[in-house]
Amino acid sequence: MKIADRMVSIKPFEVMAILARARQLEAAGLDIIHMEIGEPDFPPPPLMIEAAHQQLKNNPLRYTAAAGLEPLREALSADYQRRYGLRLDPRRIFLTPGASGALMLALGVLVNPSDHVLIADPGYPCYPNFIRLFEGIPRRIPVGPDSGFNLSAAGVRDAFDERTRGIILASPSNPTGTVLSAGALHALVSEVMAHQGFLVSDEIYHGLEYGVPSDSALTVSDEVFVINSFSKFYGMTGWRLGWMVVPDAFVDAVEKLAQNLFIAAPTLPQLVAVHAFDPRNLLELEARRQVLLERRNVLRDGLLELGFQLPANPEGAFYIYADVSKWGPDSGWLAHHLLEEAGVAVTPGRDFGDHDPERYLRFCYTAPVPRIQEGLERIAHFLKVWDPKR
């Protein structure tokens, strides 16, 4: 038996190794402050738990249709109207096992072997691996503070060639927490459309903005793929439920692939998610966004005070991408010592691409304010004695 050749190009998540080491240190009795993992510490919203209990008592939880439960597709369509003023035919909306399942479906219907797909570097580590799974070729476009660490219309214009089929875009961005302006989004979508390329817009951090709320790529064109999920804004990571909006002409192809890959998204979370748009739940989520905003402010101000540089404003998601070059040539080395000696877990830039990764660390504000403050104190103490040459 032999592992398939393609697995050579599928890379593991660095952050998982950091998390595993942090857990090992905790098992040995050490106190670790977790700022490495992109998952808030909030419990699932109470209304969701209540709905799950009800459904477990009364519902046999059979498979749903491959595209998902009709009432949920309709509720999502109504939510696009409420959030973005868009009218979406529910038949274009597919429920999926997380945004990850949506990415798989999107790239499955879009990517042929050897097709090039443009992605931002730094960016979400799984994108290149999904592209490679379908034997496409990820082309990382170096992005920096000048474009808010995101793909830009000009960057796409320069990079698009005869082998390029499309782009994956994420705003708010993981790992930088930066948000594309409505104008930049409009220009970018129009640029990709002008090349007749595909655009997959990963909108999983929508709702978690601390300045201007994001526009959906769907406000620019109906001919885009939008993926999203109940994991982040709705606080339901482990429920594994996401969705995707597809162009009308792709409905049949996506349905065929969804039937074969997943049969359907998980039934219990779908039944529960119908209640996600209940005003009481939306109030709870707004309160959580306010908590995240306070954490963002504490972490951002604390890092700046310690001398970290934040080259772009972290305005969304729950990430801060900090320039740590002042403390040595390699953020991986710094992350290692911060964990081992200060008990603070953060993720080095190399998890997110090849463009200047050693300059940066990603901090997640997914811990309560007192823990973030304690983390900042530990980092301050550590940096006083840190010698990058050792």
Ligand X SMILES: Cc1ncc(COP(=O)(O)O)c(C=O)c1O
- Per CB under 6 A, residues contacting ligand X are 38, 98-100, 124, 170, 174, 202, 204, 229, 231, 237, 242
The smaller minimum CB distance to ligand X, of residues 103 and 322, is found at: 103
Contacts with 294 (C-beta within 8 Å, 6 or more apart), sequence order: 369
8 A C-beta contact, residue 178 and residue 148: yes
The smaller minimum CB distance to ligand X, of residues 184 and 383, is found at: 184
The smaller minimum CB distance to ligand X, of residues 262 and 327, is found at: 262
- 130: DSSP letter: H
Query: What kind and span of H or E run contains 91?
Result: none
Full 3-state SS string of 261-310: HHCCCCHHHHHHHHHHHCHHHHHHHHHHHHHHHHHHHHHHHHHHHHCCEC
* 192 closest CA partner among 226, 227, 151: 151
Q: Cβ 386 to ligand X, closest distance in Å?
A: 30
Q: Cβ 84 to ligand X, closest distance in Å?
A: 19
Q: Cβ 141 to ligand X, closest distance in Å?
A: 16
The crossing angle, in degrees rounded to 10, of helices 279-306 and 46-58 is 140
CA–CA separation, 27 and 41 (whole Å)? 19
Residue nearest to ligand X (CB): 98
The smaller minimum CB distance to ligand X, of residues 164 and 229, is found at: 229
CA–CA separation, 136 and 151 (whole Å)? 19
The smaller minimum CB distance to ligand X, of residues 228 and 302, is found at: 228
Burial 238-267 (b: 16+ CB within 10 A, else e): ebbbbbbbbeeebbeebbebbeeebebbbb
Q: Cβ 229 to ligand X, closest distance in Å?
A: 3
Starting from the edge strand earliest in sequence, which strands make up the sheet with 360-364, in order?
A: 319-323, 360-364, 347-348
Report phi then psi at 92, rounded to 5.
Answer: -85, 0
The smaller minimum CB distance to ligand X, of residues 231 and 281, is found at: 231
The smaller minimum CB distance to ligand X, of residues 210 and 239, is found at: 239
Q: Cβ 99 to ligand X, closest distance in Å?
A: 3
Instruction: Give me the residues paired with residue 348 across strands.
Output: 361
Q: Cβ 19 to ligand X, closest distance in Å?
A: 13
8 A C-beta contact, residue 130 and residue 101: no
Q: Cβ 185 to ligand X, closest distance in Å?
A: 16
Q: Cβ 103 to ligand X, closest distance in Å?
A: 7
The smaller minimum CB distance to ligand X, of residues 102 and 342, is found at: 102
The smaller minimum CB distance to ligand X, of residues 32 and 120, is found at: 120
Q: Cβ 51 to ligand X, closest distance in Å?
A: 19
CA–CA separation, 377 and 374 (whole Å)? 5
Pull the structure tokens for residue 359. Answer: 């300059």
